[in-house]
Chains A and B, each alone.
Chain A
Amino acid sequence: MAEYRASPFGLYSMSLFSQILQFLFSGLTVGSIYGMVALGFTIIYNATAIINLAQGEFVMLGGLIMFSLTVGAKLPLYVGFPLTILIVMAIGVLFERFAIHPLRNASLLTLIIITLAASTLFQGIAMFIWGKDPYTLPPFTSGGPVIISGAMIVPQTFWVLGTAMTIVILLGLFFEKTIVGKAMSACSFNPMAASLMGINVRKMVLLSFVLSAALGAVAGIMITPISLMEYHRGPVLAVKGFCAAVLGGLGIGYGAVIGGFIIGILESFTTALIYSGFKDAVALFILLFILCFKPSGIFGSEEVGKIKEF
């Protein structure tokens, strides 16, 4: 029979430790989703200093296209996965070529608006193709939830966490060690200087959008088995993902992921301790707090912050 003990959580039949662990796990699951979206923001920002408010749509497209390929066209997972990513990357190319590049000299405001307009457009197209219904994907590995000390976590979460970690490491190596990566970072600092150094700024910008689209697609594919996907999921993910990116330090890969976890866990504990209605405000309050006191984020450096346009 259950043991009833008094605690800040009220009467309960789960041990305190299990409950805390459960909230932690929920936070990690959600946080990893935010982290992956945040990584997408990071890449484009690193190359162009643009914040792509249509990032959430790449995630949405990744999930939905994967559904059409694997469930609709019945392609196997290992074919559908890279194919989906390629398709979304192609969409990223089109987006950059037709919406971003022509406006490269326009004001910041116009660039923000065009990404918003593109977001609306993508949602409209998605609604046209897939309708308004939610779709799901089968989890990558079958099997029920894993129970650890009375708290449960679904296997798919491990996939999301693992992928996020791998991507962070790969991106870190890319930006630090490869010429292309370093060139991309140079572009965001000062495009003029970068091009004077022989860097093809146009190509870098395009590459950043392509990478970001790929990342978004991976995020979408990963999270659909846990939380389904529908045409309108983009904006919420984008806002939370952006908060995570800023929290960790805009432009810093591992910062984005850690920022995602922090927000996810804080949301989970806000639900537990305060009131689930305010959960969404958590990410936003964090955002405002950070922007007011340390815009460069947890892992960002102050000097870099001063150079960059904060």
Chain B
Amino acid sequence: MGKENLKPLVILIICLSIFPIFVRSDYYLSIMIFIGINAIIVMGLSLLMGYAGQISLGHAAFFGIGAYCSGVLTVKFGFSILTAFISGILLSGVMAMAVAVPILKLKGHYLAVATLGFGEIIFIVFNEFLEITGGPSGLSGIPSLDFLGYSVKEGTRYFYLVWTIVILLLIFSLNVIYSRVGRALRAIHGSDVAAAAMGVNVSWFKVQVFVLSAVYASIAGSLYAHFITFISPPTFGLFASILLLMMVVVGGGGESLWGALLGAGIITILPEYLRPFKDFDILAYGIILMAILLFMPEGLLKGLTVLVKWMRKKIVSRETVIGQGR
């Protein structure tokens, strides 16, 4: 899993465990729950985009598939929550595989737009199949989670549930990166041709990562559906996919999973901070995003570490200057 990741992981687990003890407000817990849900998707995307170098502009579709499977199967067909959850994962995986095989042959902008097209088509499916999905009016009455009588309805418990899953997936992802699979992925990212020359089955790996990232998104979707008990198509449309992308890029998820978490956190919290701006929040949003992209194109995680190092250097050099000055 990489030794350097162990320390931050432990710190994260400790902080998360005690968070609800200090913060009892349902509002803040809800924000953290949304961050956690987004983090799950973004970790998957980070594996796809950062390590395998593939773009996905339609990933919110898989988020939606997970959410709608959980929602529709429980509400309309009376399936159990667990069955619906697993169905969501299976459906996402299958769709990802079906889409990945032809699409991942494309590169660059073409891949990006193909994924965008896929995302849009799924959105239209959510919107049009009224009888099943409830169409644009959405699907309500999704049951809250209930493990053998232990209700996970309220904030604290849902917080622990979501973040436990986040941590588990994080550990899993780190293991993937440091395994043979991860090395193969990075080889592919560097150069398809070189990797193939080294004996890596390039297309198979790409498909695998794509499917994995779709499964992550589906898990997040199910968690979302049971938390908010009402879902509607716009949550899973183009804008959502773009936001997910922003989370990866802003945080620096292209390089590291921690960047992905950071990006999820920032982009989820940003609108809450921008509340006082009322109408101007879209403007502020655009400006902030462009600023981060222009000044820290590697993402915030790298950008901030660079900044911190730069500041440290400055302090050290000032001290030496002052020392010499005396």
Residue-wise interface mask of A (177-201) relative to B, using a CB-CB cutoff of 8 A (1 in contact, 0 not): 0000000000000000000000000
In the complex, which of the residues B117, B294, B297 contacts A288, with contact meaning CB atoms closer than 8 Å? B117
A99 at the interface (CB under 8 A from B): yes
With contact pairs A51-B113, A284-B121, A291-B114 given, residues A121 and B294 touching in the complex (Cβ less than 8 Å)? no
**A280 B124 Cβ-Cβ under 8 A:** yes
* Min CB gap B301→A, angstroms: 15
* Min CB gap B325→A, angstroms: 38
Using Cβ atoms and an 8 Å threshold, which residues of chain A touch B285?
120, 124
**B249 A120 Cβ-Cβ under 8 A:** no
Q: Which of A60-68, A109-117, A209-217 contacts B (4 or more CB under 8 A)?
A: A109-117
* Min CB gap B197→A, angstroms: 19
With contact pairs A108-B108, A278-B128, A281-B121 given, residues A103 and B282 touching in the complex (Cβ less than 8 Å)? no
**A124 B282 Cβ-Cβ under 8 A:** yes
A242 at the interface (CB under 8 A from B): yes
Residue-wise interface mask of A (272-284) relative to B, using a CB-CB cutoff of 8 A (1 in contact, 0 not): 0000011011001
Whole-angstrom distance between the alpha carbons of A280 and B285 in the complex? 28
**B290 A121 Cβ-Cβ under 8 A:** yes
In the complex, which of the residues A102, A118, A291 contacts B113, with contact meaning CB atoms closer than 8 Å? A291
**B120 A280 Cβ-Cβ under 8 A:** yes
A55 at the interface (CB under 8 A from B): no
* Min CB gap A113→B, angstroms: 5
Using Cβ atoms and an 8 Å threshold, which residues of chain B touch A309?
107-110
With contact pairs A109-B49, A116-B242, A121-B286 given, residues A99 and B118 touching in the complex (Cβ less than 8 Å)? no
Whole-angstrom distance between the alpha carbons of A160 and B284 in the complex? 36
In the complex, which of the residues A50, A110, A128, A246 contacts B293, with contact meaning CB atoms closer than 8 Å? A110
**A128 B109 Cβ-Cβ under 8 A:** no
**A287 B107 Cβ-Cβ under 8 A:** no
Which B residues, 242 to 258, have Cβ-Cβ distances below 8 Å to chain A?
Answer: 242, 245-246, 249, 254
Closest partner residue, chain A, to B128 (CB atom): A277
* Min CB gap B292→A, angstroms: 9
Closest partner residue, chain A, to B99 (CB atom): A288
Residue-wise interface mask of B (289-307) relative to A, using a CB-CB cutoff of 8 A (1 in contact, 0 not): 1100110010000000000
Whole-angstrom distance between the alpha carbons of A239 and B114 in the complex? 11
Using Cβ atoms and an 8 Å threshold, which residues of chain A touch B254?
107, 109
B287 at the interface (CB under 8 A from A): yes
Whole-angstrom distance between the alpha carbons of A247 and B103 in the complex? 16
Whole-angstrom distance between the alpha carbons of A112 and B57 in the complex? 10
In the complex, which of the residues A49, A120, A287, A292 contacts B289, with contact meaning CB atoms closer than 8 Å? A120
* Min CB gap B235→A, angstroms: 16
Whole-angstrom distance between the alpha carbons of A125 and B109 in the complex? 27
With contact pairs A107-B254, A235-B238, A278-B124 given, residues A123 and B282 touching in the complex (Cβ less than 8 Å)? yes
Whole-angstrom distance between the alpha carbons of A117 and B295 in the complex? 14
Residue-wise interface mask of B (253-283) relative to A, using a CB-CB cutoff of 8 A (1 in contact, 0 not): 0100000000000000000000000011011
B55 at the interface (CB under 8 A from A): yes
A310 at the interface (CB under 8 A from B): yes
**A contacts with B, residue count (CB < 8 A):** 44
* Min CB gap A295→B, angstroms: 6
A106 at the interface (CB under 8 A from B): yes
Using Cβ atoms and an 8 Å threshold, which residues of chain B touch A127?
279, 282-283
Whole-angstrom distance between the alpha carbons of A173 and B120 in the complex? 36
Which A residues, 2 to 54, have Cβ-Cβ distances below 8 Å to chain B?
Answer: 49-51
B308 at the interface (CB under 8 A from A): no
In the complex, which of the residues B112, B120, B127, B280 contacts A239, with contact meaning CB atoms closer than 8 Å? B120
**B112 A112 Cβ-Cβ under 8 A:** yes
Whole-angstrom distance between the alpha carbons of A127 and B284 in the complex? 12
Which B residues, 119 to 135, have Cβ-Cβ distances below 8 Å to chain A?
Answer: 120-121, 124, 127-128
**A103 B293 Cβ-Cβ under 8 A:** yes
Using Cβ atoms and an 8 Å threshold, which residues of chain A touch B124?
277-278, 280-281, 284
Closest partner residue, chain A, to B135 (CB atom): A277
Closest partner residue, chain A, to B284 (CB atom): A124
Whole-angstrom distance between the alpha carbons of A287 and B109 in the complex? 13
**A291 B110 Cβ-Cβ under 8 A:** yes
* Min CB gap A131→B, angstroms: 9
**B282 A291 Cβ-Cβ under 8 A:** no
B8 at the interface (CB under 8 A from A): no
A158 at the interface (CB under 8 A from B): no
**B245 A113 Cβ-Cβ under 8 A:** yes
Chain B CB within 10 Å, residue with most, of A99, A113, A124, A239: A113
Using Cβ atoms and an 8 Å threshold, which residues of chain B touch A130?
none
Which B residues, 59 to 118, have Cβ-Cβ distances below 8 Å to chain A?
Answer: 102-103, 106-110, 112-114, 116-118
Whole-angstrom distance between the alpha carbons of A277 and B290 in the complex? 35
Whole-angstrom distance between the alpha carbons of A296 and B282 in the complex? 36
A-B contact pairs, 19 of them (CB 8 A): A50-B109, A99-B290, A103-B294, A110-B249, A110-B293, A112-B109, A112-B112, A117-B246, A127-B282, A280-B120, A280-B124, A281-B120, A281-B124, A284-B118, A284-B121, A291-B117, A309-B109, A310-B107, A310-B108
Q: Beyond the given A124-B283, A128-B280, A287-B117, please list 14 additional residue pairs across the A-B interface where CB-CB is below 8 A.
A: A49-B109, A102-B294, A106-B297, A107-B254, A108-B108, A109-B55, A109-B245, A113-B249, A117-B286, A121-B290, A127-B279, A242-B113, A291-B114, A309-B107
Binding site for A on B (CB under 8 A): 49, 55, 57, 102-103, 106-110, 112-114, 116-118, 120-121, 124, 127-128, 238, 242, 245-246, 249, 254, 279-280, 282-287, 289-290, 293-294, 297
In the A-B complex, list the 3 residue pairs whose CB atoms are closest, starting with the nearest.
A121-B286, A124-B283, A124-B282
